Amino acid sequence: MKIYVDLVLFTNFVLDLILLLSVWKIRKKETKLKRIFLSAFLGALSILLLFLPLTKLSLFCFKVLVSFLMVFVAFPFGEVDDFLKDVVCLYATSVFLGGSLSFLSSVFGTDQKGLVFLSDGMPFSLTVVLCISPIILSGFVRFYQRTKRDAEFLRVLEFELFGKKYKMNAYIDTGNQLRYYGHSVILLYIPNFSWLPQFYIPYESVAGSGVLKAYKVNVRINHQSYSKRIVAIVNQPFKVSSAQAILPAEFL
């Protein structure tokens, strides 16, 4: 089997570059692109060790050292904890990309050696890197950012209404400007809710205007102490992270 070393180096340079750019995007690090390119070049050179008669343990230890070196070169060193988070992030993106490429390897029936994929002597990973890998990691980065955003804005809302206790996911919406006599309003979606309101709250939105059933109830957020709040019932479910309640921005 012929192995084209120049193509292998180029392929893995691009792979490492995409991985480091993903870490840069996820971790929002302050660095220069030339440092990332240099780090990717060092990572690409390390792929040559796969063709040396090394034991699995020594190869594993060297890979760990290379990953630490890549992070150290790519991003300015600050605190040890922050540095280790960068390393973990690099490994997480590598595992995700490696798993995706392994799946493609099994589909296309190629031979795999590390992140090198060979088909009739030509590195199959070259095609993967140029066409598929950026898409895979772009989806991974977007998924991570969306999950992180949801974790930042999601809360657990608990309250009791007409003798029934409720516990639901609530999403903080900075666009929720609905107020009632100067008080902010929590919006709730409760299916098949038919109780008479204590009072009504008028509203205007892009979709139209109307009135909402409203109540004053004791609520608590994320298991903190209860406080009296105004809640209003909406007729349609929210299309935000499976939340059943919308909180005003003051809960950030």
pLDDT tens readout for residues 153-164: 889 999 998 889
pLDDT at residue number 111 = 53
At residue 129 the predicted structure's pLDDT band, cuts being 50, 70 and 90, is low
Task: Answer for the pair 49, 114: CB distance below 8 angstroms, yes or no.
Answer: no
Say whether pLDDT at 37 is over 70.
Answer: yes
Q: Is residue 68 part of a domain?
A: yes
246: which strand partners? 171, 187
- Positive or negative: CA dihedral 26, 20, 95, 134: positive
Whole-model pTM: value is 0.64
Check whether residue 16 and residue 140 sit in a common domain: yes
Which of 129, 152, 175 terminates a domain? The answer is 152
What's the N-to-C CA distance of the chain in angstroms? 59
- Domain check: are 126 and 207 in the same one? no
pLDDT value at 117 more than 50: no
- In the chain, the largest separation of any two C-alpha atoms, in whole Å, equals 79
Say if residue 64 is in the same domain as residue 99: yes
Tokens of 126: 């070259």
In a domain, 246, yes or no: yes
Q: Which residues pair with 157 in a beta bridge?
A: 168, 221
Within this chain, do residues 111 and 229 fall inside the same structural domain, yes or no?
A: no
What is the extent of the structural domain holding 229? 162-251
Radius of gyration of the chain (CA): 26
The domain that holds 246 is classified in CATH as 2.40.70
- For residue 4, what pLDDT is reported? 64
Query: Rounded distance, CA 15 to CA 1, Å?
Result: 23
Q: Do residue 95 and residue 56 come from a single domain?
A: yes
Residue 121 has pLDDT above 50, yes or no: no
The dihedral region occupied by 80, where left means phi > 0, alpha psi between -120 and 50, and beta the remainder, is alpha
Tell me how many domains the chain contains. 2
pLDDT at 247 over 50: yes
- 122 pLDDT band (50/70/90 cuts)? very low
Is 15 part of any domain?
yes
Q: What integer pLDDT is reported at residue 142 of this predicted model?
A: 86
Kindly give, in sequence order, each residue whose CB lies less than 8 Å from that of residue 243, ignoring residues fewer than 6 positions away. 154, 168, 169, 170, 171
Cβ neighbours around 28 below 10 Å, total: 8
Secondary structure of residue 108 in the 3-state scheme: helix
pLDDT above 70: residue 124: no
Q: Report the pLDDT averaged over residues 102-108.
A: 68
Predicted local distance difference test score (pLDDT) of residue 216: 94
**Which pLDDT does position 35 carry in this prediction?**
93
Residue 167's pLDDT band (cuts 50, 70, 90): very high
Query: CA torsion, points 197, 235, 154, 225, in degrees to nearest 10?
Result: 10
Residue where one domain finishes, among candidates 112, 128, 152:
152
Is residue 157 situated within a structural domain?
no
Indicate the helix (H) or strand (E) that contains 64.
helix 56-74
Summarize the confidence of residues 168-184 as an average pLDDT: 89
Cα–Cα dist 161/174, whole Å: 25
Q: What is the mean pLDDT of residues 181-208?
A: 88
Identify which of 208, 168, 206, 207 has the alpha carbon closest to the alpha carbon of residue 187. Answer: 168
